[in-house]
Chains A and B, each alone.
Chain A
Amino acid sequence: MKKSEAEIIREYAFEGVESVGGVSFDGEQVWFAAGGRLVAFDPDSGNTTRTLDIAAHAGTAFDGKHLYQIAEDRILKIEPNSGRVVSTIPSPGGGRDSGLAWAEGSLWVGQYRDRMIVQVDPETGKVLRTIESNRFVTGVSWVDGELWHGTWEEDQSDIRRIDPQNGEVMERLEMPQGVFVSGLESDGKDRFFCGSGSTNNKVRAIRRPKRSRA
């Protein structure tokens, strides 16, 4: 397992935001769950671009067309332009859900204190399989076939790549002490975006480790 310190590239602060839950990226804007609403901002300028008044308590994901948002014990499917909720499915953890990611036609849902990630069918909510972690799971993200998730257990957070087959930890980026990770999403390139829970109102950009492609 590779272990290194997470390199924080940039911090985005938002006035009037009390907590940052799920984080997602739609190719241009970063979306994050701010409790009572979804906020989008331009990662280059840091300016807020959109705000949708939708309950947003945990993970956020984007499938190329729709946003998905965990609110209470449901996963909402949202049309980003209108903010209309297209459909809802029950969340697999019944409200104990934290992170959310989209990949390969499935939703991947972090179960915070259950320390696992659940793959569900986005149409029906049916559980397809579960992957165990050994820490509280916050954000979940897929990028280039890699499954990453954030952890948060008391004083320490990290971002880790795990083997989607057996849950084995392949790589860890350790956050500085007292800097916590809630949501997690990559921009598909060299950055991760992550939230900071309700310890402050920040979204952070973290450098994604480079790979030599085989």
Chain B
Amino acid sequence: MDSLITAAARALAAGDPLGALKRVALRDDAPALALRGIAMARLGDFTRAKELLRRARRAFGPREAIARARCVVAEAEIALVSRDLSFPRKSLAAARATLAARGDALNAAHAGYLEIRRLLLIGSLDAAERMLDDLDPAPFPPALRVGHELVVAGIAMRRLRTKPAREALARAKDAARRAGIAELAAEVESTARLLATPAARLIARGHERPLLLEEVEVLMASKALVVDACRYVVRDSRTTVSLTRRPVLFALARALGEAWPQDVSRGTLIVRAFRGKHADESHRARLRVEIGRLRRALLPLADLSATPDGFVLEPHGRREVTVLALPVEEEHAAVLAFLADGEAWSSSALSVALGASQRTVQRALDALAATGKVESVGRARARRWMTPPVPGFTTTLLLPAPLPNG
């Protein structure tokens, strides 16, 4: 490396991105562009950082494969932190292979974690777990180890396994202390707080109360028949009936679950399932059809009996019936659930993460914005959405040094 690049890289490593920028601000050669990109990322200007790193990647020569690959990894990390999930996975995988082949095991592993975190973020738990199995965290320095344990904890929490989540968080806390990076420690703390924050709401026998993740895990392992409004399924510890694609049937099941062991009148069921204000004859006919369908769907778990007034749920065996709902129920709860991570999301990233169309997401965001529940920054494609400031939950950048250290 040359003199000013060395000086700028030293400033960056010492936590002085402005000092680094000062030294290379007027230079447009590849290493200078890369350093400027990393410095801008450290200063939080992700749009500019991505642009600079893209230019750096193109400016590095064909024989500078390591430097180029590190630029790709840095670009991917910035994309992930700014919730731009459209970053091409193939480039990241190729960069990872290049780094591994050329002996940069550390940055290759870092690239792997970025891919896993992306999978986790979009809810591809199986794929994330498979990739995680291929990584042995033992040789990694503490900072990378924190990332590893957070991913392990993240998967465990989404799989409702609180004990392994707690253990991973304890290891992450230890690694963060050894790394001595305050932001990492804060990230571990905020993840740990999720275990102490209600993850769902329990509605049973007409009463409701918040549930911690651990309690959800206990409930799922119990004999109870659970009408799960977080996942749109009806289940017990052995059998799961998915009603994801049958919202009317789920609305009926939920109404019956909330009232259990009481019955629910036809009128109420019609209002809950069809949102009709008055129950006329055609509604009654339709209700009969839908109840028939629900009865068949729930056959492995419960019976549905007619009462003089309406219907009642009768679970097989002597089971309790409970309804599990999101902690805060809104019309656009799923959108809010993603935004609750405190990051700024683009509507296209939300649409990828939610598996919903951009139009649907945009309508939800507009509705939420109208009531002040979400805010946006930026314009056009750079527009990002977030919930009004909540404490914590940063995603710390562990950007690779872009240069092969000449």
A residues sitting closer than 8 Å to B (CB atoms) are 19, 21, 35-36, 55, 57-59, 70-73, 91, 93-98, 111-113, 136, 138, 152-155, 178, 180, 182, 197-199
Residues in chain A near residue B67, CB distance under 8 A: 154
Given contacts A58-B6, A96-B29, A182-B406, 8 further A-B contacts (CB under 8 A): A19-B6, A57-B10, A95-B7, A97-B3, A112-B2, A154-B404, A155-B102, A180-B406
CB closest chain-A residue, reference B4: A95
In the complex, what residues of B have CB within 8 A of residue A136's CB?
406
> Judging by beta carbons under 8 Å apart, are B31 and A113 in contact?
yes
Q: A113-B29, A113-B31 are in contact. Are A178 and B3 (CB under 8 A)?
A: no
B39-69 near A? 1/0 per residue, CB < 8 Å: 0000000000000000000000101111100
A21 to B102, CA, bound (A): 23
Report the Cα distance A154→B101, complex, angstroms. 13
A-B contact pairs, 26 of them (CB 8 A): A19-B6, A57-B4, A57-B10, A58-B2, A71-B7, A72-B7, A73-B4, A95-B2, A95-B27, A96-B4, A97-B3, A98-B2, A98-B406, A112-B1, A112-B406, A113-B29, A113-B30, A136-B406, A154-B66, A154-B67, A155-B65, A178-B103, A180-B406, A198-B1, A199-B404, A199-B405
Residue B295 lies at the interface, judged by CB distance under 8 Å to chain A: no
Contact of B272 with A by CB under 8 A: no
Residue from A91, A93, A154, A178 whose CB has the most chain B CB atoms within 10 Å: A154
**In the complex, A19 Cα to B405 Cα: how many Å?**
9
**Contact between A197 and B406 (Cβ–Cβ < 8 Å)?**
yes
Q: Is B23 an interface residue (CB 8 A)?
A: yes
Residues of chain B lying within 8 A (CB to CB) of residue A98 = 1-3, 406
Residue of B nearest to A181 (CB): B406
Which residue, of B2, B23, B29, B65, has the highest number of chain A Cβ atoms within 10 A? B2
Instruction: Decide if B64 touches A154 in the complex (CB within 8 Å).
Output: yes
Q: Known interface pairs A113-B29, A138-B406. Does A197 touch B64 (Cβ–Cβ under 8 Å)?
A: no
- Complex CA gap A71/B8 in Å reads 11
Q: Are B23 and A72 in contact (CB under 8 A)?
A: yes
Which residues of B, 87-118, contact A by the 8 Å Cβ criterion? 102-103
Is B7 in contact with A153, judged by CB distance below 8 angstroms? Answer: no
Bound CA span A96–B24, Å: 10
User: Considering only CB atoms, which chain B residue lies closest to A93 in the complex?
Assistant: B2
What's the nearest-Cβ distance from chain B to residue A211, in Å? Answer: 30
CB distance from B405 to the nearest CB of A (A): 4
Q: C-beta contact mask, B61-84 vs A, less than 8 Å → 1, else 0?
A: 101111100000000000000000
**Interface contact A152-B4, CB-CB below 8 Å:** no
Indicate if the CB atoms of A21 and B64 lie closer than 8 Å: no
A154–B10 touching, CB < 8 Å: no
Interchain nearest-CB distance for B32 vs A (Å): 9
Complex: A105 Cα to B30 Cα, angstroms: 34
Query: Which residue of B3, B61, B65 is within 8 Å of A96 (Cβ)?
Result: B3
Closest chain-B Cβ to A35's Cβ sits at a distance in Å of 5
- Cα–Cα, bound, A182→B63 (Å): 18
Is A197 a contact partner of B1 (Cβ separation < 8 A)? yes
Contact B3 A70 (CB under 8 A): yes
Chain A residue contacts of B6, Cβ below 8 A: 19, 21, 35, 57-58
Closest 8 CB pairs of A and B: A95-B4, A58-B3, A198-B405, A57-B6, A112-B2, A57-B3, A154-B63, A57-B7
Q: Whole-angstrom distance between the alpha carbons of A69 and B30 in the complex?
A: 25
Select which of A71, A180, A198, A199 is within 8 A of B3 by beta carbon: A71
- Chain A residues within an 8 Å CB radius of B64: 153-154
| A35-B405 Cα distance, complex, nearest whole Å | 13
- A109 nearest in chain B by CB position: B3
What's the minimum C-beta distance from B101 to chain A, rounded to whole angstroms? 10
**Given A95-B23, A154-B65, A154-B404: A113 touches B4 (CB 8 Å cut-off):** no
Asked whether B2 lies within 8 Å of A97 as measured between CB atoms, the reply is yes
A98 to B27 alpha-carbon distance, docked (Å): 16
Which of chain A's residues has its CB closest to B62's CB? A154
Could you mark each residue 363-406 of chain B with 1 if its beta carbon is under 8 Å from any beta carbon of chain A, else 0?
Answer: 00000000000000000000000000000000000000000111
